Structure 1
Amino acid sequence: MQETTISISILGAGAWGESLASLAAANGHGVKIWSRRGSETLASVVEDAEIIVSAISMKGVREVATQIQPLTLPPATIFVTATKGLEPDTINTPSQIWQSIFPDNPIVVLSGPNLSQEIQQSLPAATAVASRVVTAAETVQLAFSSPRFRVYTNPDPIGVELGGTLKNVIAIASGVCDGLQLGTNAKAALVTRGLTEMVRIGNFWGAKTETFYGLSGLGDLLATCNSPLSRNYQVGYQLASGKTLTATLANLPGTAEGVNTCQVLVQLAKQQNIVIPITEQVHRLLQGEVTPRQALDELMLRDIKPEYH
């Protein structure tokens, strides 16, 4: 129980939003949740909020942020983004969208190996909160920290955010790997080389390499690549089992952000000459250009080279 009660508004009543709401409520904070299907208006939910947490899917971020913009919010209100994805048209991250619409408010990114179902079962977990405003990150850290949810601060918001976003594509590949029953050696190689791709893309954006070896990078990557609870992992697994992408997505509880992220990354990589072979094969698989087995063969038959260059 925290000594100071904070008023927290959670935007999005999906599994992730509900998990964050329960963590804050367990610490004795005043929590309101907004959902598109709920009876409360967005204005009434965010009114007087000291922390506004966005846990909505990527496609709704700009729309919701724009709806909040005309409301009178104090400059001290902290926006926390817990969305993992990239905006297709602008290639903006969620925090970049929030910051562009609320230039005077502190923005905090919350991301880590946080499978919602496990958090709802009160299993132990850890996460990272990152911001250019150190005091804002520390406020969010205090609000959500508990004996079952350990929160670390981090000074690299773009790195923390990209870790959670980029690993979703590798999780699709990981699901394919398990669906084809390729074994532990193949999976370890895939995840390790996937992390290399994440670092390459992150460095282009100005993220720090070491951030990708922390909770929001490697931590989230390991959790998502090894759990059937991950929607992105399930996409890959089902494709490897012979199901179509349309049928797989129709049966998923929620959004697999990696599908859209993959498309955006391939577009970016072409423009900037970033080498991301795993992501490219996942993209070809999602587009129906190759089978899971053909995608694997393409990766294994690439030119041999040094590990680091």
Structure 2
Amino acid sequence: MDANVTSPISIDAQQAQKQSAELTILGAGAWGTALASLVEKNNHTVCLWSRSSEMSLADAVQDAHVILSAVSMKGVPSVAAQLKELNIPPETIIVTATKGLDPETTRTPSQIFHDTFPDNPIVVLSGPNLSKEIDRGLPAATVAASSHPEAAEAVQYLFSSDTFRVYSSPDPLGAELGGTLKNVIAIAVGICEGLDLGSNARSALMTRALPEMIRIGTHLGGQAETFVGLSGLGDMLATCTSVLSRNYRVGYGLAQGKSLDQILEELGSTAEGVNTTNVLVQIANREGIPVPISRQVYHLLNGKITPQEAVEALMERDLKAEACLLT
């Protein structure tokens, strides 16, 4: 990460606040489009690119001060590889707004971009941000996290407005993992709601999910305090309590007896928690990390148990002291 800390950047916070900046967003889905709208409202120039665009990727990023990736997790490795061929200047800020884990390498998007562009500042944008609410102009907050503080500050000013508040953080991996892991929990909460288990069960599930997220996140290198902030607890609360959440709807549908294939077809878009659950359990097995909630979601997604059996398995675990968040 040392290269990220010392490399120059193409746009500073003062320019992002007072002058027009060139920004390219890769991924024209709901999230990428919402982010483009936020930047345009701040009078910056935005190029929104997708694989179906008539414009080439080379032309799309040619003059960009900032390149933001909002593609799905499965597209991140190929997009990073394509960008590498374009000789992106080392001062260009690369922002990742994708929440997921690569099934081939178990890496996060920021780790993939950092490995591909070790000389560029990498920023993670993550928080409780349901794109449909942002499109409606409803107030929201998020986190710009980077080991390069000037890059985080520049991104902070690019996106901040009277309806979108951006905080900075020095913990990109923690911010990214918080936004990634909560998708698994959202599936679990959707199951709880679909089975009509009540508010007590939902509250208990979400409360016990937080230490599970912290346990995984800190083991993988994130900072514990990040997971009780906007990109951890905040994102989990939004995703686990809104019918706008695709991952919540996956769990709810499973509890209603629908097949996973049927649910995903009805969604018509990616529910990153499905892939994340499978990769997470792979990591937990490899690293010896206890993940009781995530493991039951994994069994359910893979057809090994029913929703009712998943709940029973969690309720029948050995009794223990609550003690602290990390137990």
TM range, smaller chain: over 0.9
Q: For residues 1-309 of structure 1, what are the structure 2 equivalents within 5 Å?
A: 2-308=17-323, 309=327
Q: Deviations over 1:231-257 (max 9, x none)?
A: 000000000011000100111131100
Q: Which runs of 4+ in 1 moved over 6 A?
A: none
Give, in whole Å, the separation in 2 of the partners of 1:4 and 1:158: 30
Alignment length, in residue pairs?
309
Q: Matched residues in 2 for 1:252 and 1:153: separation? A: 32
Q: Could you list the runs of 5+ residues in structure 1 that have no partner in the other structure?
A: none
Give me the whole-angstrom Cα distance separating, in 1, the residues matched to 2:105 and 2:237. Answer: 29
SS of equivalent to 1:192? helix
**Cα distance in 2 for residues equivalent to 1:213 and 1:40:** 41
How much does 1:72 deviate? 2.9
Q: Secondary structure at the match of 1:31?
A: strand
Aligned-residue sequence identity (percent) comes to 60
Displacement of 1:112: 0.1
Secondary structure of the equivalent of 1:305?
Answer: coil
**Are the counterparts in 2 of residues 2 and 28 from structure 1 also a CA contact under 8 Å?**
no
Q: Secondary structure at the match of 2:47?
A: strand
Give 1:259 shift.
0.4
Normalised by the size of structure 1, how large is the TM-score? 0.99
Could you tell me how far apart the structure 1 residues matched to 2:279 and 2:41 are?
38
Deviation at 1:3, TM superposition (A): 1.4
Distance across 1 between alignment mates of 2:284 and 2:80: 28
Q: 246-255 vs 277-286, which deviates more?
A: 246-255
Give the C-alpha shift of residue 73 in structure 1. Answer: 2.3
| 1:181-234 Cα deviation digits (max 9, x unpaired) | 111110011011111110010011111100000000000000000001000000
| SS of residue paired to 2:18 | coil
Distance 1:272 1:71 in 2: 36
1:273 shift after superposition:
1.3
Please say if residues 48 and 73 of structure 1, whose CA atoms lie closer than 8 Å, have aligned partners that are also in contact: no
- 1:68 and 1:272 map into 2 onto residues whose CA distance is 32
CA distance in structure 1 between the aligned counterparts of 2:171 and 2:246, rounded to whole angstroms: 26
CA offset at residue 4 of structure 1?
Answer: 1.0
Q: Which amino acid aligns with 2:310?
A: A
Distance in 2, matches of 1:273 and 1:192, equals 22
Give distance in 2, aligned partners of 1:92 and 1:267. Answer: 12
Shift of 1:282: 0.2
* Alpha-carbon separation, structure 1, partners of 2:205 and 2:258: 22
